[in-house]
Structure 1
Amino acid sequence: MWFLFPLLAGACIWYNYESLEWKTVAFNGLFILFLLASLTVYISFRKKELTAIWKGFFSWGDILFIIAVTPLFETVQYIYFFTFGTILTLMIHLLFARGEGRKTIPYAGYLSLVSVAYLIFTEQINHFFLFLNGSR
């Protein structure tokens, strides 16, 4: 249901409105664009033909979800969120889909669970990110 993604983006903007900087949202969007372009190049290289990643590799729902949540994060936090969220998504999928024989991962669904966990534990997670960056 495509109309949920603009609603989600609006909710993310509303949630983070006081500290939201549009420059940061633009950088996050550029990060996603870079990743999707890199993935397209990689898959096209592997298949030896230009390949659209939304045809069998990454669904439009996944792409729209990762774009919709960009207002929630500063750029470094977004990179951490995307990286750790993707790893956690794979771990959740491996844990819950054992024996099902699924060939696809519901990335946006699992990443939304990670997003909710982030919103609940924001303060603790931010302290962890500061620790990773060497700040106290």
Structure 2
Amino acid sequence: MRHIHVVLPIVVFSTAYFLTNYLQSNLKVISVNVLFFCITIALLTLYMSLKNKGFLNPFQNYFGLGDLLFYIAITPLFLLYNYVLFFITSLLFSIVMQFVLLKWIKKDSVPLAGLSALLLLFVIAKDVVFSVQKITLIR
């Protein structure tokens, strides 16, 4: 069951890539989004390490492999501005949902990738159904 952490993000990335492949600059969009995500993780690691006065690996305590793979897998779906917007919104959505579902979720950790995926489904559904300002690159 552990291999799903790798297979599912590959499927999501491939699907997102092919749904947005009409863009000439698709690889540039992906690269810029991955760069933003890597810089964010690096700054988070630096901040936590300085605060704890020693190196702190965010993947051991705060951020899971599934979270990392999810946020990289969705990079083809957004231009940078919308990727940043979705990233921040999904973090806030996950925190709110964690408090709402506190009675049913008995773990101390937040299922970030799962709740972010739920938000992504809402965003994609909105973009497909309504013709108002689209967030994703899916047309």
Aligned residues: CA RMSD: 2.0
1:8-67 CA distance string (max 9 Å, x none): 110111121213621111110010001100110111112111111110110011001000
Mapped to 1, the partners of 2:53 and 2:108 lie a distance apart of 22
Gapped regions of structure 1 (runs ≥ 5): 130-136
The 1:84/1:100 distance shift into structure 2, 3 A limit, reads closer
Gapped regions of structure 2 (runs ≥ 5): none
**Which of 98, 121, 133 is equivalent to 1:127?**
133
Confirm whether residue 5 of structure 1 aligns to residue 9 of structure 2. Answer: yes
Is the contact between residue 127 and residue 134 of structure 2 (CA under 8 Å) also seen in structure 1?
no
- How far does residue 127 in structure 1 lie from its aligned partner after superposition? 2.3
Aligned to 2:18: 14
**Which of 58, 71, 85 is equivalent to 1:53?**
58
Runs of 4+ more than 2 Å apart: 98-102, 123-129
Mapped to 1, the partners of 2:84 and 2:131 lie a distance apart of 13
Aligned to 1:72: 77
Secondary structure of the corresponding residue to residue 127 of structure 1: coil
Mapped to 1, the partners of 2:47 and 2:73 lie a distance apart of 24
Mapped to 2, the partners of 1:121 and 1:4 lie a distance apart of 23
**What is the identity, as a one-letter code, of the residue corresponding to 1:127?**
Q
Is the contact between residue 9 and residue 71 of structure 1 (CA under 8 Å) also seen in structure 2?
yes
- How far does residue 102 in structure 1 lie from its aligned partner after superposition? 3.0
- How far does residue 125 in structure 1 lie from its aligned partner after superposition? 9.2
- How far does residue 98 in structure 1 lie from its aligned partner after superposition? 3.7
Identity within the alignment, %: 22
When normalised by structure 1's length, the TM-score is 0.86
Mapped to 1, the partners of 2:52 and 2:17 lie a distance apart of 38
Q: Count matched residues.
A: 129
Is the contact between residue 12 and residue 72 of structure 1 (CA under 8 Å) also seen in structure 2?
yes
When normalised by structure 2's length, the TM-score is 0.84
Mapped to 2, the partners of 1:59 and 1:114 lie a distance apart of 18
